[in-house]
Amino acid sequence: MQPRGWRFIDLALLGRNTAGTCALALLRIILYPVATAAVIGAFMGVVRVPPPARAFLGILLQFLPIIVGGWAVGRAVESSHRRPFASLIAPDLRIDWRRLAIGLGVELAILGGQLVLVHVLTGWTWKFAISGGRPLFVLVIVLIPLQAASEELVFRGYMTQELGRIVRSRLLIAVAVGLAFGLLHLNKYGPLTVAYFFAVSLVFSLVSLRDERLELAIGGHSAMNLFAFVAANSGLVGAAIGGIGGNALVFNWAAIGVLMVNGALFYGLTRLLVRLFCEPRALR
């Protein structure tokens, strides 16, 4: 019997994996997001638009290239590798919405409990205010799950499976994916940014390889990003995840420690809930 994770990783073998198909797929995955960012950036630089429209374009510039990257991975898998898009998600080639809900709900519960604990210990108050107006706020709330899902498809999905054809070590695969994921966010939140996002990636890689599916990681990643955005509108980002308070978030070692506790809880609770609500149904 194969160790956990290989059934998911080896889904790459369902398709064509010649040097040409891999090169074409990689070209799509890189060029489509870059072209999207370039078009939006050029439009903002050339065309004079009113501040509300500029704020809208700024949000698109932040989120749309990543979402396009997720779409590009799907197109690369179907057109270049000639395997089903769903092979990026699960061996049974379907999306388990129960697992998505479990990942989302568990991570939101953990982060919510974390924030309550901070309030009890420090007395910080929740002062929620929508910055930029309600339409832009709603737009970001809609785009965040798409962004998180796209990142999971690229890193925990496609990159994990492609590396698995070359490196037959789950640890080395998870480390390589974590480094790439951390470098994607290089210095965005201070010198420990790569270390923090490397740890985030390891948690989601551990969960997805244990479950041999991607839905829990997609749900948890979406919840983490949604919570960070809402907390940012309350001036409590630092309190919520252990960084330096306020919107000028800088990760420190305490943030990484908090993340490790969060990851352990996420791993254990999702495993329990999957056994209770998903595995009996699969057996039936």
Q: Judge whether 1 lies within some domain.
A: no
Q: By mean pLDDT, which of 28-42, 69-83, 224-238 is the weakest?
A: 224-238
Q: Judge whether 275 lies within some domain.
A: yes
Assess whether pLDDT exceeds 90 at residue 170.
Answer: yes
Residue type, 10: D
> Per-residue b/e over 207-236, b at no fewer than 16 CB within 10 Å?
bbbbbbbbbbbbbbbbbbbbbbebbbbbbb
State mean pLDDT over 229-234.
75
Q: How far apart are CA 100 and CA 220, in angstroms?
A: 8
Q: Judge whether 204 lies within some domain.
A: yes
Q: Judge whether 21 lies within some domain.
A: yes
Q: Judge whether 180 lies within some domain.
A: yes
Q: How far apart are CA 244 and CA 110, in angstroms?
A: 20
Q: Return the pLDDT at 67.
A: 97
Q: pTM of the prediction?
A: 0.93
Q: Judge whether 169 lies within some domain.
A: yes
Distances (CA, A) of 34 to 42, 86, 130, 184: 12, 25, 30, 13
Phi and psi at 136, nearest 5°, equal -70, -35
Assess whether pLDDT exceeds 50 at residue 209.
Answer: yes
Q: Where are the alpha helices (DSSP H) in 80-169?
A: 97-122, 134-152, 160-164
Arithmetic mean of pLDDT over the chain: 89
State mean pLDDT over 192-203.
94
Q: Return the pLDDT at 246.
A: 45
pLDDT (tens digit, 9 = 90+) per residue, 90-128? 999 999 999 999 999 999 999 989 888 877 877 766 666
* Domain limits for position 132: 6-283
Assess whether pLDDT exceeds 60 at residue 247.
Answer: no
- Domains of the chain: total: 1
End-to-end CA distance of the chain: 22
Q: Return the pLDDT at 106.
A: 98
Q: Judge whether 278 lies within some domain.
A: yes
Contact 21, 88 (CB under 8 A): no
Contact 221, 185 (CB under 8 A): no
On the CB side of 80, CA atoms within 13 Å amount to: 21
- For residue 202, give every residue at least 6 positions away whose Cβ sits within 8 Å of its Cβ, in sequence order, or none: 174, 175, 178, 263
Q: Return the pLDDT at 231.
A: 76
Q: Which residue has the higher pLDDT, 53 or 78?
A: 78
Q: Judge whether 43 lies within some domain.
A: yes
- For residue 184, give every residue at least 6 positions away whose Cβ sits within 8 Å of its Cβ, in sequence order, or none: 151, 197
